[in-house]
Amino acid sequence: MTSGEDGTLRVQSLLDGRVLRTARIPVGSYNVQEAAGWIMTPSLDRGTFCVLDRRGRLVRRVQVAPSSHDACFVMTA
């Protein structure tokens, strides 16, 4: 879960909803995707693309454009 307004990503327990970890991400990161143990979120405000592991640890942050709205996973067999 993320609040794009304050630049915080929260990983929460599916069992009881408690917050397991918080991570700082760029402001404007509203669109969060998860697949195959990876989390990614583009920032509409900052134009960055962030990749986090399933525990919410930031693995990579890349400046991709002045504004970045969508992101998707492509998986091959």
In this prediction, residue 73 carries a pLDDT of: 65
In this prediction, residue 44 carries a pLDDT of: 85
Q: Which residues pair with 52 in a beta bridge?
A: 39, 58
Residue 68 CB neighbour total at 10 angstroms = 23
In this prediction, residue 28 carries a pLDDT of: 87
In this prediction, residue 3 carries a pLDDT of: 64
CATH class assigned to 2-63 = mainly beta
In this prediction, residue 66 carries a pLDDT of: 79
In this prediction, residue 43 carries a pLDDT of: 87
In this prediction, residue 53 carries a pLDDT of: 94
| Dihedral, CA of residue 58, residue 40, residue 25 and residue 16, to nearest 10 | -90
10-residue block means of pLDDT along the chain (77 residues)? Answer: 80 93 89 87 88 93 80 67
